[in-house]
Chain A
């Protein structure tokens, strides 16, 4: 593994926008504008004192504009990040230790997402004050409520339970 987590786009100028982290996770190649949704999905809102830096709409070779999220002091597991594939399918995950990227992987679409999303169907039992966690099946081109069967293909980010 190399230490290139800030060099995907080759250009030191961009490094300045988002500082390096010592230990933690860098989520790169997030679709432009989705960084805050990434944090929402991961349940990171800074209230636990985590050091989080966010770069938004940074020029990128692979994506016209990308977002970058860096979380200091926390290594995200594959399960935790896979759910990001719903809104950031191109994201790459870099695990950083002592300023080096020690692991690098892509997000993979999970079969099922528990919690995280809430069903948009007002007639669904999961939105009726019952003690139940939402559950969505991940389809090729969308997600489907495991209770009422509602399929959502667009604007999945709008379902994120905040």
Chain B
């Protein structure tokens, strides 16, 4: 399928792994091509696929859909989205399902892995090749890193990565960027990203995407959960202007426009005591925020446990529920772009 979408290039496919490889050299081939080329975009695997212009195009389109979802309500009548969730994630799955249905389509769901042939030892490569026969596009959540890249090599329908192990989660990144833009703006942004930075795929995806906006990024985590060196390497390859790592929020909190909090999971620590001690240092409540700017926006990919005290929910700072809601128009925009072959975003032509 050749997609003619002025203003958007998701990925030059057949070879998403080529993108990975290119990305590792700091060159995102394809994504840097002229926006106005006629381009093919089959899969959505990593936030590395997006240029700044791509992101802006997607966010603008998501905003347009958010303003008037009825305009696209029938765009994909009869279209089926295949949901393959090898890890439980009710929320992400529901968000995709809602997005597809609001575009007029429907979903087919592999169901839980407990009841599927995966239990019987089927490979992912086989599973996606079977399900692609049932659906017009696939959404994959899988515990292994690189699973979406590999799966995309076996199918001809568009495949969306909804999380591959500690790897990437690009649709989450888009809704995060959307939320940041709405609340704090993406220009001249100073953001703190806190919590489990080692395993947090939303963090890895987001940090990379933010390099397109020259954001100042502060990474706050216990030493054992710092960003993987691969992610740091990528950020440096992108000439990200300000990448700093901290073990405490205190010193940089006053300078932040956005604080993005992630959950530190119990299973990352050898024992309960160690976990309690460490996790306690990365939780925020009303007292913590006394040092923060009045305009600070607080985000969280959810679900949270006790990283953010409930007392913050009612403050102007809290943007995490809005963030979750933004998943629908953003995923509608992305699905529409992936599924359309003649969509001119916002009706604008080349300019």
Contacts and interface: CB of A to CB of B under 8 A. Distances in A.
Interface in B118-153: 123-125, 142-147, 149-150, 153
A150 B234 CA distance: 11
Interface residues of A, number: 23
B307 to A, nearest CB: 24
B233 A135 contact: no
B21 A137 contact: yes
A149 B147 CA distance: 12
Interface string B227-238: 001100100000
Contacts of B144: 123-125, 128, 148
* A interface, over-half SS: loop
A53 to B, nearest CB: 36
B76 interface: no
Contacts, number: 75
B240 to A, nearest CB: 17
A121 B167 CA distance: 12
B123 A131 contact: yes
Contact of B146 (A111, A137, A139, A145): A145
B230 A150 contact: yes
Given A124-B144, A125-B145, A151 B230 contact: yes
Contacts of B167: 148-149
B166 interface: yes
B66 interface: no
Nearest to A135: B17
B26 to A, nearest CB: 10
B146 A124 contact: yes
Contacts of A112: 21
Contacts of A131: 123, 125
Contact of B150 (A130, A144, A150, A151): A130
Contact of B123 (A130, A144, A147): A130
